[in-house]
Amino acid sequence: MKEKEALMPVGGQAVIEGVMMRSPHAVSVAVRKPNGKILVHTEPYISWTTRNKFWGLPIVRGGVVLIESLYWGIKTLTFSGDVALEEEDKKNGKQKEPDKKSGFSAWRTALMITVSLAVGLFIFFYAPLMITDRLGVKSGFWFNLVDGGIRLVFFLLYLILIMMIKDIRRIFEYHGAEHKSIFAYESGLPLTPDNARPFTTHHPRCGTSFLLIVMLVSIAVFMFLGRPETLADRLVRLLFVPVIGGISYELIRFSGKGYKSKIGSILVAPGLWLQKITTKEPDESQLEVAFAALEAALHKNTGAQEYVLKGEQA
């Protein structure tokens, strides 16, 4: 493996029967089809943090990365769902009308992002605020502490509940495959199941860790805003969400680089613990899917193609 490739920053996300990987120049999603083949789709990608100096500033870049991650995450999740539905239709003998556009559907992605943001803000922002208000907490300090605690409990309950769903457990296994493949890549090892298997499924830069840090940082930031008395006070809190995302990103970035240090290990510890819920041990076939996504993202093989496993003939 080339040295410059080993230094290239990569990240990813588990999707339906697959894995999404993102490098500085491409986003790739690999999905295992029912026939055993791996379908890989790759698109060019350049982060806004590298296109403009302002968007790349500390704190500011965190909000940009958060939005980009949500955008590409939903895009690739939708794509993997489409592949699964298409294969199910074929199995049932149904014919599907060909899409006018190949790749990812932009309008559906925009709709899903809007709905996801609305639901997320209600469950993890507005509902805890209303519950805390009903409890009659008057002190600004205690109001924000209770509000943040409820938000954190909601988040943990959400993860525990979805873990009980069989299909979600499969996604958590692909999440583990994503982490193992990245660990192998960052260690300069060839992407093979034997090389990736010994690594842990818990990665310090995981999105789960990031969300947990967001929850904790929000408590600290909202402490400065006091107790919200009016609707305007509550809306002001929304304006601080990008700031919270920015601070959280800088913390996860620091901990990802120095997680072996004493301070770094303290920062990543809660997130690594939480990944015991959101990641599961993958099998060899799931690792192969993660390898396919990672290799495509690194080498920018744009378009859709079937991934040929090593040892197979094309």
Per-residue pLDDT for the chain (314 aa), expressed as one digit of tens each?
444 444 578 989 999 899 999 999 999 999 998 888 899 999 999 999 999 889 999 999 988 888 888 888 888 888 888 887 776 656 665 555 444 444 455 566 667 667 777 777 788 888 898 899 889 888 888 999 999 999 999 988 988 888 888 888 899 999 999 999 999 999 999 999 999 999 999 988 888 888 888 888 999 999 888 888 888 888 888 888 888 889 988 888 877 666 667 776 777 788 888 898 899 999 999 999 999 999 999 986 665 566 655 444 33
In a domain, 35, yes or no: yes
In a domain, 314, yes or no: no
Structure tokens, 169 = 């457990």
Residues 6+ apart with CB under 8 A from 224: none
Number of domains in the chain: 1
Structure tokens, 284 = 């060899």
β-partners of residue 27 are 22, 43
In a domain, 76, yes or no: yes
In a domain, 249, yes or no: yes
pLDDT of residue 237: 86
Which DSSP category does 122 fall into?
I
In a domain, 248, yes or no: yes
- CA–CA distances in Å: residue 177 to residues 59, 174, 191, 299: 30, 5, 11, 20
Cα 6 to Cα 221: distance, rounded to the nearest angstrom: 36
For residue 70, what are the domain limits? 3-307
Cα 80 to Cα 72: distance, rounded to the nearest angstrom: 12
Cα 63 to Cα 55: distance, rounded to the nearest angstrom: 9
- The torsion angles phi and psi of 310, rounded to 5 degrees, stand at -60, 130
Give this prediction's pTM: 0.82
For residue 305, the SS3 value is strand
pLDDT of residue 113: 67
In a domain, 13, yes or no: yes
In a domain, 313, yes or no: no
